[in-house]
Chains A and B, each alone.
Chain A
Amino acid sequence: MTKYLILCVDDEREVLDSVLQDLAPFEEHFILEGAESVTEARQVIEDMADEEVKLALILCDHIMPEQTGISFLIELSQSADTRSARKVLLTGQAGLEDTVEAINHDSLDYYIAKPWRGNELRQAILSQLTSFVIEQDDDLLSWTTVLDSEAILNAMAERRASFGE
């Protein structure tokens, strides 16, 4: 099973820690990392790329110093290595204008409002990760027990059909 990176970015440590705690169950099959700034996030993605670990999902706050979450997501969608990563915004306050811009740049897959519920967050991330592996991973079978098995099995059936089996 290929290891993928789940990266959470929030400049507020308390918020970041609670996100990481909520997502701890994914650690078994993913590398879960937190970053307190966009610069740090960039560095983590780079370091992981060196270890051949691909970014599967980024969960990002919007209002941060240096750069907003949305502008970072747009940046990621414009780089070949990170284009396929699922991009999730976790925020209490992204303006309509910014959000629309991100959607139009194909840089936003999901939007979670603060405060969130642990189960809902995990469910959303699970479904995003499922989409990611269906699109990006050749060995879907290994993911059936980890992610949304029904969706993955359906996808596998479809694949077989398209290969003419």
Chain B
Amino acid sequence: MNRYAVLCLDNNPISAEQFRLELSAFSSKFDIFSVESIEEAQSALEYLEQQKQTVALVIASHHAHFNGVEFLIGLDRAPHTESARKILISCSSDIQAILTAVNEGRLDHCLTKPLPDKVLFNTVQKELTQFILRNCHEDLLGYSQVLDQHKLLRAHIENQMQKYQAGFLHDYHSMSDAELAEQVITALQLFFKDSDDTHACRTYSPEHLLTVEGEPNNFLWFITNGDVALYKRDEQGVQREVVRYTKGNIVGSMSFVTGENSFSTALTLSKTEVIKLDRQVFHNVMQSDSNLLPLFTNLLLRHFNRRLQRSINTKLQLQKTLESLESAHQQLIEREKMAMLGQLVAGVAHELNNPIAAILRGVENLTHTLESLLTKLPSSDIQNKGVQLLSQAQNSKPASTSELRARVKQLSPILPDRSLAKKIVNLGLESDDALLSQLAKKQDSAAQTLGTLEQYHKAGASLRSINVCAARIADMVKSLKGYARADDESMHYADIHEGIEDTLVIFENKLKMHQVSTDYDNLPRILCQPIALQQVWTNLVSNAIDAFPDKGVLKIQTRLVEKDQKRYAVISFEDNGCGIPESQKTSIFELNFTTKKVGNFGLGIGLSICQQIVSAHHGWIEVESELNKYTHMTVWLPVIEEGDEI
């Protein structure tokens, strides 16, 4: 029993016999049923349905007394007949019937009697070929003997090609990486099972080098068991692990495919079983089994795609890391600022103690002085003199202690009493001969007068001292206030020198032991962030102090310089300190560079921040240094004056 059947319907026995003869040529592949009535035809169809056979072709006659057309139209209603090809054999020129068959019965072919020899055979062959092409892709070749060999063969090849191409990628969709690898490995192992001349299947001990980064590679390794790590050298030459491969992974694929030198170094971590292929062996393997090529191609594609995915994921992760690093950096800058400010405040707080002590003492002394002045009222003569001394002491700076001492000495021949002489000198009464001679004669009233006058002088001196010290405190507070800046300090026109001077006030205490000289050019007010810049000056001065020898010398110089048709304010700080070793000059601006010792200033990342601030001003910092001689830091800031076009 064949899969397909051909039904031939004609109530003319002679024709039927002729048809049977001509159709017998197809009987090896098709069951041929020849019937002479519609009823017979119907029962044949029923029989075929029971047999689960499909009708491939129905040939029906039609004439006035035999409605073959209707039978053909009815075929569409049953599943096992709907795909059948339909040939109508018409006796007369009954056009209407033919058209009905075409329109309603999807007629495929129409023949008219009488039929010449072979016409039916050719027609049937053509129709059955069509049927097979449409309905039986899987076994086209099986019908090529009886049907149109040429057509079927071509269709078969086309099918195969299409299938091959289409299936190349998609056939493996359902497989996991591991399954795919397993298949390739199994196929390879099968290949080498009988003869393995090249010793392709081998086992390596741990720490065996498969590929070496930058060197040629001619092999492809399939790992069948064990672990292999891939390493790559970074810019500093440190070998970093890139990825770890296990069973099913491929090593050497990139260089094997491109012919380039190895991208990474592969090293076995444990006892590792591999299949090692060189190009020739690979070629042989692929030749041996046409199914292996798509399988292998898939494996390789997946291998590269996984690599790509990994690298994209790594990149995303890096991006994230970079972002968090950026925020960490911001925090670090903030902390540096706070640390610096904290130390500055501590230093200034100490420094404030001096004027505060003087003020507190001055007030207390003034209180006593006033009390005694107000309780015993002297003669108006002495009072007038006293008021004069008071305002004199209040308004003029006292002579130096050494000068005062010298004057006391000078006075000693006239007035040997050192304590009295000191008072006379302090009050500047050396020219008051009357008083001097009275004192020399040891008149009590003169000493009393001197005592009273001294009280007036003291009051004036205390007032002056309080005034001077309060002014100093105000100065220090002002210079410190400069450091309290908002992060988004706006650019405005400011005097660079003011910031430098404020910085020097802050460091007055630390600079006391050393020598500072300033040499200022006539700089215009330039567009800048003066408080941010003050952080730069603070760092540079602080670095100089840290570098100072016992007797430090700090030279600060500003110049207006024209360079490449642009004007710059050039501010330089030179110390005579320990200098910067050649090897460190390039790294001093790096964030992680510090020579900071405990007790030094800030967090020790100052220069990195200075550079950021200066480059935000579109300027730069230059370093010049000689070990144990000097360090010369120069800040270049472009000059934008009020009225300049920005």
Chain B residues 446-468 with CB under 8 Å of chain A are 458, 461-462, 465, 468
Contact B351 A92 (CB under 8 A): yes
A158 at the interface (CB under 8 A from B): no
Contact A21 B365 (CB under 8 A): yes
Contact A115 B512 (CB under 8 A): no
A3 to B512, CA, bound (A): 34
A45 to B354, CA, bound (A): 25
Question: Contacts A12-B354, A15-B354, A36-B400; is A22 near B361 (CB within 8 Å)?
Answer: yes
Residue from A22, A28, A44, A92 having most chain B Cβ neighbours under 10 A? A92
Residues of B within 8 A of A154 (CB): none
Contact A34 B358 (CB under 8 A): no
A137 at the interface (CB under 8 A from B): no
B352: nearest residue on chain A (CB-CB)? A92
Contact A17 B465 (CB under 8 A): yes
B443 at the interface (CB under 8 A from A): no
Residues of A within 8 A of B458 (CB): 21
Question: Contacts A15-B354, A21-B365; is A36 near B402 (CB within 8 Å)?
Answer: yes
Contact A15 B358 (CB under 8 A): yes
A18 at the interface (CB under 8 A from B): yes
Question: Contacts A44-B405, A65-B513; is A92 near B353 (CB within 8 Å)?
Answer: yes
Contact A14 B468 (CB under 8 A): yes
Residues of A within 8 A of B353 (CB): 92-93, 113-115
Question: Contacts A17-B465, A115-B353; is A31 near B418 (CB within 8 Å)?
Answer: yes
Contact A16 B356 (CB under 8 A): no
A11: nearest residue on chain B (CB-CB)? B512
Residues of A in contact with B, size category:
20 to 34
A27 to B352, CA, bound (A): 29
Contact A34 B401 (CB under 8 A): yes
Considering only CB atoms and an 8 Å cut-off, how many residues of chain B contact the other chain?
31
**Interface 1/0s, chain B 349-366, versus A by CB < 8 A?**
011111111101110110
A123 at the interface (CB under 8 A from B): no
Contact B465 A18 (CB under 8 A): yes
A165 to B418, CA, bound (A): 40
**Contact residue among A21, A27, A44, A115 (Cβ-Cβ distance under 8 Å from B357):** A115
A133 at the interface (CB under 8 A from B): no
Chain A residues 1-55 with CB under 8 Å of chain B are 11-19, 21-22, 27-28, 31, 33-36, 40, 43-44
* Total inter-chain residue pairs, C-beta < 8 Å: 84
B619 at the interface (CB under 8 A from A): no
Contact A115 B351 (CB under 8 A): no
**Contact residue among B351, B352, B362, B512 (Cβ-Cβ distance under 8 Å from A18):** B362
Residue from B354, B458, B465, B513 having most chain A Cβ neighbours under 10 A? B354
Contact A12 B513 (CB under 8 A): no
Question: Contacts A15-B358, A17-B465, A34-B401; is A27 near B419 (CB within 8 Å)?
Answer: yes
Question: Contacts A17-B465, A21-B365, A92-B350; is A66 near B357 (CB within 8 Å)?
Answer: no
Question: Contacts A12-B354, A27-B419; is A118 near B364 (CB within 8 Å)?
Answer: yes
Residues of A within 8 A of B512 (CB): 11, 63-65
**Contact residue among B362, B401, B461 (Cβ-Cβ distance under 8 Å from A36):** B401
A113: nearest residue on chain B (CB-CB)? B353
Contact A18 B354 (CB under 8 A): no
B432 CB → nearest A CB, Å: 21
B509 at the interface (CB under 8 A from A): yes
Residues of B within 8 A of A14 (CB): 354-355, 358, 362, 465, 468-469
Residues of B within 8 A of A34 (CB): 401
Residue from B351, B401, B458, B461 having most chain A Cβ neighbours under 10 A? B401
B398 at the interface (CB under 8 A from A): yes
Contact B509 A18 (CB under 8 A): no
Question: Contacts A18-B361, A36-B401; is A115 near B356 (CB within 8 Å)?
Answer: yes
B239 CB → nearest A CB, Å: 46
Residues of A within 8 A of B362 (CB): 14, 18
A13 to B398, CA, bound (A): 9
A116 at the interface (CB under 8 A from B): yes
A27 to B461, CA, bound (A): 19
Residues of B within 8 A of A116 (CB): 357, 361
Residues of B within 8 A of A118 (CB): 361, 364-365
B402 CB → nearest A CB, Å: 5
Question: Contacts A63-B509, A68-B513, A92-B357; is A16 near B401 (CB within 8 Å)?
Answer: yes
Residues of A within 8 A of B358 (CB): 12, 14-15, 17-18
Residues of B within 8 A of A63 (CB): 509, 512-513
A9 to B401, CA, bound (A): 10
A19 to B400, CA, bound (A): 15
A13 to B419, CA, bound (A): 20
B364: nearest residue on chain A (CB-CB)? A118
Residues of A within 8 A of B462 (CB): 21
A116 to B358, CA, bound (A): 9
**Interface 1/0s, chain B 506-520, versus A by CB < 8 A?**
000100110000000
Residues of B within 8 A of A12 (CB): 354-355, 358
Chain A residues 113-164 with CB under 8 Å of chain B are 113-116, 118
Contact A92 B354 (CB under 8 A): yes
Contact A33 B365 (CB under 8 A): no
Chain B residues 325-340 with CB under 8 Å of chain A are none
Residues of A within 8 A of B352 (CB): 92
Residues of A within 8 A of B405 (CB): 33, 44
**Interface 1/0s, chain B 398-420, versus A by CB < 8 A?**
10111001000000000000110
A116 CB → nearest B CB, Å: 6
What 8 A-B pairs have minimum CB-CB distances, sorted nearest first?
A92-B353, A18-B361, A115-B357, A93-B350, A14-B358, A114-B357, A114-B353, A14-B465
Q: List 25 A-B contacts (CB under 8 A).
A: A11-B512, A12-B354, A13-B397, A13-B398, A14-B362, A15-B358, A16-B401, A18-B361, A21-B361, A22-B365, A31-B418, A33-B401, A34-B401, A36-B401, A40-B402, A64-B513, A65-B513, A113-B353, A114-B353, A114-B354, A114-B356, A114-B357, A116-B357, A118-B364, A118-B365
Beyond contacts A14-B362, A16-B401: 15 other A-B pairs, Cβ-Cβ < 8 A, are A11-B512, A14-B465, A14-B469, A17-B358, A17-B465, A18-B362, A21-B361, A21-B462, A22-B361, A35-B401, A36-B401, A63-B512, A93-B351, A113-B353, A118-B361
